Chains A and B, each alone.
Chain A
Amino acid sequence: DAKTTQPPSMDCAEGRAANLPCNHSTISGNEYVYWYRQIHSQGPQYIIHGLKNNETNEMASLIITEDRKSSTLILPHATLRDTAVYYCISQYNNNDMRFGAGTRLTVKP
């Protein structure tokens, strides 16, 4: 079973920030939080990952709470092309990646 929980769906207006929450209350100290997204009919795409500090790259920002029990993926200026299913995963080695159902984000014009 996936060790994370996410809302099944969210909407966001184009140009606004999309904030996708993830709960990982049972995460252990050496597990990273990874985010992927899957656009329809394509394979999942890596977005970002972090351990305890907040992270930012060209695609998104990841905010991890101090107790590490939850995190938020932020797409600062969502576009229509960001419509996808977003997966939050806690992982500590290569063979422990468990994808749940994810959050279906719909960006609306």
Chain B
Amino acid sequence: DVKVTQSSRYLVKRTGEKVFLECVQDMDHENMFWYRQDPGLGLRLIYFSYDVKMKEKGDIPEGYSVSREKKERFSLILESASTNQTSMYLCASSRIARSSYEQYFGPGTRLTVT
């Protein structure tokens, strides 16, 4: 069964802290994604990666960085957390295949920055 896991379901951090959100997939997928979801704004793409050590900016990369050292793991880093980064963070993965781009999502991490 397809599985994407995220390191925490709930996280509370203070302003200015460095925050790591981890995502692991066990499907040997090439692509991995980080989104944030906010009420009324839907899901917005932060970064994605199509291979180990490769990354591409999404729509809202400011204030975030990512790391992909292994195929199965994609980390989202908030270098200095701010209150406007309080959100639900969703990780997803997909394989590279013509005509088949369905993404598989993790359960999400609800981050609160105080």
Known contacts A43-B106, A43-B108; A91/B101 CB under 8 A: yes
Q: B7-21 vs A: 1/0 string, CB under 8 Å? A: 000000000000000
| A2 at the B interface (CB under 8 A) | yes
Q: By the criterion CB–CB under 8 Å, are B106 and A95 in contact?
A: no
0/1 interface trace, chain B 45-57, chain A, CB 8 Å (1 if under): 1001010000010
The segment out of A13-21, A45-53, A66-74, A75-83 that lies at the interface is: A45-53
Q: Assess the A94–B106 pair: CB atoms within 8 A.
A: no
State how many angstroms separate the Cβ of B86 from the closest Cβ of chain A.
Answer: 16
| B-chain residues with CB within 8 Å of residue A46 when the two chains form the complex | 102-104
Q: What is the total number of residues of chain A having a CB less than 8 Å from a CB of chain B?
A: 22
Q: Which of A2, A97, A101 has the most CB of B within 10 A?
A: A97
B58 proximal to A (CB < 8 A): yes
Within 8 A of A (CB), among B1-54: 4, 31, 35, 40, 42-43, 45, 48, 50
B60 within 8 A of A: no
Task: Output the residue of B94, B96, B101, B105 with the most chain A CB within 10 A.
Answer: B101
Choose among A2, A41, A49, A93 the residue that contacts B102 (Cβ–Cβ < 8 A).
Answer: A49
| Bound form: Cα–Cα A46–B103 in Å | 7
* CB proximity of A33 to chain B, nearest CB, Å: 11
Q: Tell me the bound Cα distance from A87 to B58 in angstroms.
A: 19
Q: B105–A93 contact, CB under 8 A?
A: no
Q: Which residue of A lies closest to B105 (CB)?
A: A43
B residues in contact with A41, CB < 8 Å: 107-108
Residues on B with C-beta less than 8 A from A94 are: 31, 48, 50, 94, 96, 101
The residue that A45 contacts in the complex, of B31, B48, B91, B105, with Cβ under 8 A, is B105
What is the distance, in angstroms, from A92's C-beta to the closest C-beta of chain B? 8
Shortest CB distance A58–B (Å): 15
For this complex, 21 residue pairs linking A to B, each with C-beta atoms less than 8 Å apart, are A32-B99, A34-B101, A34-B102, A41-B108, A43-B107, A43-B108, A44-B43, A44-B103, A44-B105, A45-B105, A49-B101, A49-B102, A94-B94, A94-B96, A94-B101, A95-B48, A95-B56, A97-B101, A98-B45, A100-B42, A102-B42
